[in-house]
Amino acid sequence: MPPKRTPNISAAMVPSQQWLDLLDRLNIGAFTVDMQRCITAINHAARSMMGLDEIPLIGRDCTEVFLGVPCLMRCHPIQEDCPDVAAVALRAGADADRELVVRVSTPIYDPDETVVGCLTVLHDQSPLADLISRIDYEERSLKLILDNLDLGIFTVNRGGHITFFNKAAEVLTGYSRREVLGKSSADLFGQDSLNVPNLLHQAAADEDLRRSIKSLMTTRDGVKVPVRADYLPLRNESRQVVGGLATLHDLTLVQQLNEVISERYSLHNMIGREPAMQRVFELARMVSGSDATVIIEGPTGTGKDLLAKVIHSQSRRAERPFVKVNCAAVPENLLESEFFGYAKGAFTGAERNKPGRFQLADGGTIFLDEIGDLPLALQAKLLRVLEDREFYPLGSRQTVRVDVRIVSATNLDLERMVAQGRFREDLFYRLNVMRIELPPLCQRRADIPLLIRHILRRLSAARASRVSGISKAAFEVLLNYSYPGNVRELENILEHALIVCQGEEIRRQHLPDYVQTTDRRLASSRSVAPLSNAGSEDEDRLRIRDALQRSGGRRSQAARLLGIDRTTLWRRIRRLGLNDDGL
């Protein structure tokens, strides 16, 4: 006599067709087989799942009917100690669409608790699997969309921890998503003027809260970036608030346009962590509050022009004109009329009175760039303006009084020029009330990574570029380059790379050829001493000859080797009687 066992509640008796029909209404497939594996009953749902709607099945061997469907029951013959329930996810059906189903099998007992067959229940999991797949796809699609927006987006949970951080947010903040995911937003933005943690917390607590503020965001490198931030609550499908979402709009381009229109600049426009640059910023803040005459010294391309604009923009004269005069770019015979203007009839063609730059700058600031190239004759007239605040326009007998602040700049050693008699001593001391020295970029290499990211972000915003980073190889080249043209040259190099690059990352091959050959470039630049260190005209002549010969007569490259402006080099060549071959 076969061993007895406690009957399964769901199969205490042989299932009737009525019972199978009930499962049918629930879209649950079911069929039964006897001890000989012959099908004794099957409902419509099971037929549909198996693709066997029109085929007679009763009395047929289940192993012949359900080809390719694994059976977990040990039915050769069906054993009484088989599992009560066995489940597996399997794919069944015809060669057409194959569906994911869950199969549950259990023995069937008669009233005497003897195994008389097997009941199999089939539950169609395709809708659930499709939903899971769709959710996963939609989530991945959403992340892909958000990653390709030019808008910084990140989300936090109710605890304030970051749960999502898109590519634009990485570029804008300087943080990678690996660094910030799971971190508290307070750790990243706690001391920032954007007040991100508090506003996100409010957004998560208030279902209707919307905030839009403009402020400066501090990046990982300590750079201040103008942004507009929007905050809103993040809800789940049940409309419950589960966190907050912040969007960061980069306002760099807007700020650039506003600065150009208003001609207002601040120290945020200048980047530098090196102690030498911090000293420059400290002096600029102090001198901006006075009307003292300022002279800015430094090699070409270090930002003398920008610093002069910052000093003016932060002074009490900010609402008045800022007039720039490049002393090296104006022909000598026109310098006096450019500076002081002329009266009608002063010379042939002077048909009306024309105000000079000093008159145009009245009440504001006049910036005398490359003042070391000012002719001696005009230096005396400039001295009178500094002392008396008045001058005679060319051809006029009446003096003109002006109230101007003078800020000058040079890349030459004015003290050495005074010793050589090439610059008036009294004018030098009159100009040298406050002196600010801008260091060359090669002396502040720790600032190069900051400048690269700042300039790249600014240029990318202006050009609507998709470039979001620089490869390690390209970054190393930029870090090792000597930059004889200083910050201006770095900006030109990055602009060149943005034009050439067609992807999202600047690579070494996108850099100018002369930058890629760093070793040769360094050797060439070190072999020519900067012209500003020249001790005499003879030494100047030798250095200019050397630079022109090395550059094949190309003045722009020779000027770069000498660390001076191209126009300044032209003036020196003319003064020393040289030609493009250095002869």
Could you read off the pLDDT of 20-72 as tens digits, one per residue? 777 777 678 888 888 888 888 888 888 877 777 767 888 888 877 765 454 54
The full DSSP string for 5-59 is: -PPPGGGSSPPPHHHHHHHHHTTEEEEEEETT-BEEEE-HHHHHHHT-TTS--TT
Determine, yes or no, domain membership for 257: no
pLDDT digits (tens, 9 = 90+) for 134-164: 545 556 666 777 777 777 888 888 777 888 8
pLDDT over 70 percentage in the chain: 73
State whether 455 and 329 are in the same domain.
no
pLDDT of residue 15: 59
pLDDT of residue 297: 92
Determine, yes or no, domain membership for 43: yes
State whether 208 and 272 are in the same domain.
no
State whether 151 and 167 are in the same domain.
yes
State whether 535 and 491 are in the same domain.
no
Give the CATH number of the domain where residue 226 resides. 3.30.450.20
pTM, full prediction: 0.54
pLDDT of residue 407: 94
Does residue 527 contact residue 533 with C-beta atoms inside 8 Å?
no
pLDDT of residue 322: 92
What total of structural domains would you count in the chain? 5
Report, as ranges of residue numbers, the positions in the chain whose pLDDT lies below 70: 1-18, 26, 54, 66-102, 124-142, 190-212, 253-269, 462, 464, 466, 518-538, 552, 579-583
pLDDT of residue 107: 82
**Of 93, 124, 155, which marks where a domain is finished?**
124
- Domain assignment of residue 33, given as a range: 9-124
Determine, yes or no, domain membership for 175: yes
What span, in angstroms and rounded, lies between the C-alpha atoms of 32 and 73?
12
Give the CATH number of the domain where residue 460 resides. 1.10.8.60
pLDDT of residue 87: 38
State whether 44 and 89 are in the same domain.
yes
State whether 154 and 113 are in the same domain.
no
State whether 56 and 150 are in the same domain.
no
Q: 3-class DSSP state for residue 155?
A: strand
State whether 236 and 274 are in the same domain.
no
Q: Which residues contact 171 (CB under 8 A, 6 or more apart)?
A: 152, 457, 468, 469
How buried is residue 382: exposed, middle or buried, by Cβ count under 10 Å (0-12/13-18/19+)? buried
pLDDT of residue 355: 87
pLDDT of residue 73: 45
State whether 511 and 541 are in the same domain.
no
Determine, yes or no, domain membership for 507: yes
**Of 74, 96, 124, which marks where a domain is finished?**
124
**Of 437, 470, 495, which marks where a domain is finished?**
437
Tokens of 559: 């000027």
Determine, yes or no, domain membership for 582: no
pLDDT of residue 102: 66
Determine, yes or no, domain membership for 378: yes
Determine, yes or no, domain membership for 259: no
State whether 417 and 283 are in the same domain.
yes
